[in-house]
Amino acid sequence: MELPADYPDEAYPGFSAPLIVKSHQTGRVACGLARFGLIPSWAKDDKISRHTYNARSETAAEKPSYRAAWRHRQYGLVLVDNFYEPSYESGRAVRWKIELASGDPFGIACLWDRWTDPASGELVVSFSMLTVNANEHPVMNQFHKPGDEKRTPVIIAPALHDAWLGADSAKAADLMTWSHMPELRAMAAPRA
């Protein structure tokens, strides 16, 4: 997939990012751009996406915004080179960049859904990254405010990409851990 020349280097909620999905009927794998911040099919407008860019993997199957996507096994991989988290080590939030130690691009587990904009009729595919507790993760345990639970997006190891995309809900739940994630590295990356 070729990205437009003016495609931004970073994706924020509301922006588009590359998403891989797999049909459970045909096994066909597809990649396209999807909006960051899941809009459930039942939403009246897209405002909910400001609050649905991350989903706690422990509760996604029950939460109204995510449960249909989980039940329908709408598992995807958002493709990234890195992501950012705040470190409060200095007493204030400093942006840090997290990437694979290898420097390779990677896939983050996500749920996706389709929503039709009632005003325009436009079909919007959107996604939410799945996260897990990272209190014991050797890299991700240092981010977020002191006293807050440490969380990390679930990075799916390349050898498990197909297993994730084709998973049933039990297998998907088994993959919601950081124990199989590739090694990460982090560095301060304040905005210029």
- 87-120 per-position pLDDT tens digit: 998 889 999 999 999 999 999 999 999 999 999 9
Q: b or e along 135-157 (b: 16 or more beta carbons within 10 Å of the residue's beta carbon)? A: eebebbeebbeeeeebbbbbbbe
The total domain count for the chain is 1
* CB proximity list for 26: less than 8 A, separation 6 or greater: none
Domain that holds residue 41: 16-82+103-131+151-180
The answer as to whether 93 is a domain residue is: no
40 within a domain of the structure (yes/no): yes
pLDDT at residue 28 is higher than 70: yes
Residue 192 is assigned to a structural domain of this protein: no
Question: Whole-structure pTM over 0.95, yes or no?
Answer: no
Nearest residue to 69 (alpha-carbon basis) of 34, 28, 45, 121: 34
Measured CA to CA, the distance from residue 103 to residue 161 in angstroms comes to: 18
Q: What is the reported pLDDT for 147?
A: 87
Q: Is residue 186 part of a domain?
A: no
**Where residue 75 sits, what CATH number does that domain have?**
3.90.1680.10
In a domain, 29, yes or no: yes
pLDDT recorded at residue 56: 96
pLDDT, residue 116, reads 96
- Spatial neighbors of 32 by CB under 8 A, at least 6 apart, are 1, 18, 19, 125
